[in-house]
A and B are shown apart, each in its own frame.
Chain A
C-alpha cells in the first residue's frame, strides 16, 4: 500500500525461542480503521503490540509515514506519535484529569495547552464531571472512557486498541463502541483494533485481518470476510454459514 501511514513489512515475533507471529505485512492509511480478528491464542495482541513498537521484532520493519522505526525514527519519537488503549484501563494513581493529561505532561507540554486539550477530551467521552475524581472510585465504563480520552487527547497519528471493551458489560460496551465509532470518524488517524466481536468490527472497521496461529488467513471488509471466507478455517473462525462453499467468484 503506497499511501500507507503505518506500514509493516514481514514482521515476526519470537517469544521464548518460539515464533508466535509469522512474517506478516500490514498497512493502514490515515483515516482508516483496521481490525485484527481471530480466536484465542491467534497472535492478535502480539501483532498489535509489535506494530505499536512495544515488543521486539524477530524480523521485519515498521515505518510510520515512511520513517523506519529504529532507523530514521527513534522508539521514543515513535511512541510520542501513537497511542494505545488496552483491555484493562491501566490508569495511574491520581485523578481522571491527571490521567488524561499524562501523555501531554510527558511530552513537556505547558499547563495552559494541557488544559485547553484536556477539557474537550473529557467532554468528548462525557467524563467532565469526573475530572477531579480519584481513578480508584470509577466504574469499569468510566475508567475505560478515561483511558480512551487519555489516548485521543494526544491526537495520535496511529491509535492502537487492544480489545478495549472486552471487560465491560454488554450495554456499556454497545454504547462505547458507537461513541468511539463517532469519534474515529472525526479524526484523521489510522486505527488498529484487536477484537473478538465481529459486530464490533463491523461498526468500527473498514478492513479486517483474520489471524490464526500467528498468520494472516484472509483480509477484507468485515462483511466480506463473513460472506466470503476463503477457507474452511476462516469460515470456522468467523462462524460463517458458508463453511463448505467455494469463494464467491465476484
Chain B
C-alpha cells in the first residue's frame, strides 16, 4: 500500500470515524483512560500549585545566598527531560532504593510524583516572574494598609491571578502530554496507570489506530481547551 493510495487514506479515515465513535458512544475503556489521565495530571498540578506558589513568593521576596542558583535550577526545570525524571524517580522508588519503602512504583501516585516534579519548576518560575512584574511598592502599600503576612500573600495572589492561572495551565499542559516519566513510573497498567499518552504509544504499536487516534483527539482537544481558555483570560483580563 503506497503512501498516496486510496486504501491508505480510507483506512486512516475509517480510523478517525471509529475514534469519534469511541468517544461519542462513551466507550468505557476510552473514557476510563481519559478520566485517569485527568485525575493524575490535575492532581499533580494542583499539588504543584500548593507548593510552587508559596515557593515563588519566597524566592521573589527573600534575599538569601543561593537565590540566583535556585532560580537557575527552576529555569532548568523548564526543559527537564521527562524520561530523565522518570529514570531518577524509578531508581529512587526501586524496592531497595531510598524511597522503596513507599511501595509507589507502577501506581498512579508514582506518576503524580513524576508530574509534580515536572510541573513544579514551571509554576515556581511563572509565579516569580509574575510577582517581579508588579510594582515593588505594591507590597509595601499592602503592608501599610495593615495586612498580615497571609493577607499580603492573598492580596498579591489576587493581583497575579491571571499569571497564576497561566502557570497552572502551563504546568498541566506540560504533564498531561508527557509520556516518558509516565511510562517509566506507571508502567501503563490497564485501569490503573494507563493514561492518554502511554495508551497512544501502546495502541499505535499494536496497530490499533482508531483507539490511538481517539486518545490523540482528546489530547488535542485538551490542549486546545487550555490554549483557548488562556487566550480568553488574556483578552478579558484587565483591572476587573
Contact = CB atoms under 8 A, between A and B. Distances in A.
The SS class assigned to the A binding surface is: mixed
Contacts of A93: 158-159, 239-240
Interface string A117-157: 00000000000000000111100000000000010001000
B35 interface: no
A75 B159 CA distance: 24
A92 B240 contact: no
Chain A CB count within 10 A is highest, among B140, B155, B240, for: B140
Contacts of B147: 79, 106
Interface residues of A, number: 26
B240 A90 contact: no
Interface in B143-198: 143-148, 151, 155, 158-159
B2 interface: no
Contacts, number: 59
The SS class assigned to the B binding surface is: helix
B226 to A, nearest CB: 23
A246 to B, nearest CB: 42
B158 A76 contact: no
B98 interface: no
B138 interface: yes
A47 interface: no
Contacts of B146: 76, 79-80, 103, 106-107, 154
A110 to B, nearest CB: 16
Interface stretch (A27-35, A81-89, A236-244): A81-89
B145 A102 contact: yes
A8 B155 CA distance: 30
Contacts of B135: 88, 90
A134 B240 CA distance: 6
Contact of A76 (B148, B159, B239): B148
B65 interface: no
Contact of B137 (A80, A88, A94): A88
B239 to A, nearest CB: 3
B238 interface: yes
B234 interface: no
Contact of A79 (B138, B144, B158, B239): B144
A90 B140 CA distance: 10
B159 A103 contact: no
B144 A82 contact: yes
B141 interface: yes
B153 to A, nearest CB: 13
B239 A135 contact: yes
A54 interface: yes
Contacts of A137: 239
A190 interface: no
B143 A79 contact: yes
B144 A136 contact: no
Contacts of A83: 144-145
Nearest to B144: A84
A193 interface: no
Contacts of B238: 134, 136
Nearest to A147: B141
B139 to A, nearest CB: 9
Nearest to A160: B144
Interface in A51-97: 52, 54, 76, 79-80, 82-84, 86, 88, 90, 92-94
15 contacts: A76-B146, A79-B144, A79-B145, A82-B144, A83-B144, A86-B137, A88-B137, A92-B155, A93-B239, A103-B146, A106-B147, A106-B151, A134-B240, A136-B238, A136-B240
Given A79-B143, A84-B140, A134-B238, 14 more contacts: A49-B140, A54-B140, A54-B143, A79-B146, A84-B144, A90-B138, A92-B138, A92-B155, A92-B158, A93-B158, A102-B145, A106-B146, A135-B239, A154-B146
Interface of B: 135, 137-138, 140-148, 151, 155, 158-159, 238-240
Query: Closest 5 interchain pairs by CB?
Result: A136-B239, A84-B144, A80-B146, A90-B141, A103-B145
Interface of A: 49, 52, 54, 76, 79-80, 82-84, 86, 88, 90, 92-94, 102-103, 106-107, 134-137, 150, 154, 160
